[in-house]
């Protein structure tokens, strides 16, 4: 069997088109545009590429983009002061501080300083707690994008066996909570999991988010399973995911490629979260399924 390829680029474009429509309605109703502030400290080339595509997507959706580029030797105090200014800026609905940050800056101190209601990354512990307890808040963009791809590919996820490989705060943990919220039976596996191949073998849904190229082997995949590859690893052969794609795609029912899978959905969900932030601030109603 050969898997259906889940086209993340097309799904992201469709979501971005819907968001642009809703932004038009928001602007007519409120006479203002949603605004996203993106902060980049230093000049890591990969980060600069992501920040540029975020800015382009924001503007294409009819939103305002505010980019703040700071030198690599920026102090924590300086960055905290900028975050505080953005928290109080009424034209800014969403704040994203690109990670990783240089070593002299404590990432968790910066995340804690962002107003949770402008935290469109969903990284603030208040938003993590809201997700864990089922309260409205912001969900991290990458796992939200994965959930949307799974729902588009499979429809209802109720009762499915889902295995998430990787327990990071930004992907693995929120992914497990989202799948639980969709009524999956969820296993959160990690580097200390005993017999990972056997655990993955029972999954109807596999989400790989470990940052190790090709870690998930084709023989681990249950025939017909849906495989979501969150990994973006730069290797000599180019970009590769955390899944051995050639082997897994021969067995899976559906699979995301890298690139062109989860990555584009991450950006679409960022502008989605920014519109949601603006709508909540102004009491503007959005479609429930956006
Ligand atoms: N505060 C913060 N929030 C983030 O969401 C965040 C971050 N920091 N730091 C870096 C990571 C990485 N990230 C990606 C977004 C889009 C693609 C993407 O669109 N990738 C394309 C192209 C990949 C390429 O060619 O480099 C693809 O997979 O098809 C990838 C990676 C967001 N991140």
Phi, psi of 211 (to 5 degrees): 75, 30
Query: From the CA of 194, how far away is ligand 1's center (Å)?
Result: 30
- The continuous run of DSSP H or E covering 134 comes out as none
> 263 exposed, middle or buried (CB, 10 Å; 0-12, 13-18, 19+)?
buried
Region 143-154 average pLDDT = 98
Convert the pLDDT of each residue in 16-72 to its tens digit: 999 999 999 999 999 999 999 999 999 888 898 999 999 999 999 999 999 999 999
CA dist., res. 9 & res. 3, Å (int)? 17
What are the residue ranges spanned by the domains of the chain?
141-263
* Closest CA to ligand 1's atom 15: 263
Q: pLDDT digits over 72-131, tens only? A: 999 999 999 999 999 999 999 999 999 999 999 999 999 999 999 999 999 999 999 999
Query: Strands, DSSP E only, in 57-210?
Result: 64-70, 94-97, 161-165, 185-189, 205-208
Q: Is 121 a residue of the active site?
A: yes
| CA nearest to 62, candidates 16, 95, 20, 25 | 20
Homologous superfamily (CATH) of 141-263 is NAD(P)-binding Rossmann-like Domain (3.40.50.720)
CA of 42 to the centre of ligand 1 (A): 16
pLDDT tens-digit readout, 156-189? 999 999 999 999 999 999 999 999 999 999 999 9
- CA–CA dist 104, 107 (Å, integer): 9
Task: Decide whether any atom of ligand 1 lies within 6 Å of the 268 Cβ.
Answer: no
Q: Which is the catalytic residue, given 7, 98, 119, 204?
A: 98
pLDDT score, position 1: 63
Q: What is the pLDDT of residue 44?
A: 87
| Annotated binding residue 114 | no
SS3 labels along 201-265: HCCCEEEECCCCCCCECHHHCCCCCEEEECCCEEECCEEECCECHHHHHCCCCEECCCCCCHHHH
At residue 257, what are phi and psi to the nearest 5 degrees?
A: -80, 165
Query: In this structure, how many other beta carbons lie within 10 angstroms of the beta carbon of residue 208?
Result: 30
Q: What is the mean pLDDT of residues 226-233?
A: 98
**Distance in Å, CA 263 to ligand 1 centroid:** 6
CA nearest neighbour of 152 among 185, 187, 182:
182
Specify whether 54 is catalytic. Answer: yes
- What ipTM is given for this predicted complex? 0.97
Q: Give pTM, 2 decimals.
A: 0.98
Annotated binding residue 28? no
Q: Tell me if residue 98 is catalytic.
A: yes
Give CA 183 to chain center in angstroms.
20
Q: Which of 232, 242, 255, 260 has most ligand 1 atoms within 8 Å of CB, for mutation?
A: 232
């Amino acid at each position: 069997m050969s898997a259906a390829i889940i086209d993340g680029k097309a799904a992201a474009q469709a979501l971005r088109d819907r968001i642009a429509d809703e932004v038009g309605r928001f602007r007519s109703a409120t006479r203002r545009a949603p605004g996203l502030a993106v902060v980049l400290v230093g000049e890591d080339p990969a980060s600069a590429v992501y920040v540029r595509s975020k800015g382009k997507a924001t503007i294409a959706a009819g939103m305002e983009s505010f980019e703040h580029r700071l030198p690599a030797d920026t102090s924590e105090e300086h960055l905290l002061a900028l975050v505080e200014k953005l928290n109080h800026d009424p034209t800014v609905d969403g704040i994203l501080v690109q990670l990783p940050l240089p070593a002299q800056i404590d990432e968790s101190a910066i995340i804690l300083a962002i107003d949770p209601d402008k935290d469109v990354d969903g990284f603030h512990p208040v938003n993590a707690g809201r997700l864990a307890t089922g309260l409205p808040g912001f969900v991290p963009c990458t796992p939200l994008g994965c959930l949307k791809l799974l729902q588009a590919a499979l429809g209802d996820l109720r009762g499915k066996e889902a295995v998430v490989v990787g327990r990071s705060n930004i992907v693995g943990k929120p992914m497990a909570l989202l799948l639980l919220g969709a009524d999956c039976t969820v296993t959160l596996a990690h580097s200390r999991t005993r017999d990972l191949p056997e655990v993955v073998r029972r999954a109807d849904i596999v989400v790989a988010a470990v940052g190790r190229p090709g870690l998930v082997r084709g023989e681990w995949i249950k025939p017909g399973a849906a495989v979501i590859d969150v990994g973006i690893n730069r290797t000599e052969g180019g970009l590769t995911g955390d899944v051995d794609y050639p082997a897994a795609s021969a067995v899976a029912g559906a699979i995301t490629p890298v690139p062109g899978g989860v990555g584009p959905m991450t950006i679409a969900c960022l502008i989605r979260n920014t519109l949601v932030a603006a709508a909540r601030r102004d009491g503007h109603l959005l479609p429930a399924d956006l």
